[in-house]
Amino acid sequence: MATMSVLRCAGARSLSRLLGPQLLSRMAPIAGTLVPKSTLMVTQPKQKRLYGPELGGHSDTGMWRNERIAAIALIPLIPAGILVPSMPMDFILSAALVLHCHWRLSGVCEDYIHGELLPKIHQPFVLVMSILAFGSLCYLNYSDVGLGNAVRMLYSEL
């Protein structure tokens, strides 16, 4: 913190002479460490609650909790599915992996896809991809060696 204060004081004088105080004040978000404290403005924090359930509104905390439970359940499931492969374990691991990936990919798409057409398309696309992934893993489990043995064979032959 002391280093930032030294940089702020040392660089502000030379920059204000070179660029002028008006341009320097416009560059404050970019060069925050080089702008003197007197030109920075402190704003009041927002009074609206930005996270958690709102009274009378839709709560996303239940979905977040389910996502965390699925992610934590994968920690023992993945080693168990590889060390002790069996058909029920392979199906449970496949379902948990696809469910976890579906929820996370849906969240990423909601956060980062904007516009008018793409937000209407991404949810069905993610759903179709998740169904295809689960179907493929079920086929691997039922008709071939299974997910745990496939991973074990992949790492033993490399």
Tokens of 153: 């064979």
Q: Is 100 annotated as contributing to ligand binding?
A: yes
Phi/psi of residue 155, nearest 5 degrees: -80, -25
Mark 117-143 as b/e (b = at least 16 C-beta within 10 Å): eeeeebeeebeeebeeebeebbebbee
For residue 111, the SS3 value is helix
Annotated binding site for heme b: 100
Annotated binding site for a ubiquinone: 112
Annotated binding site: 100, 112
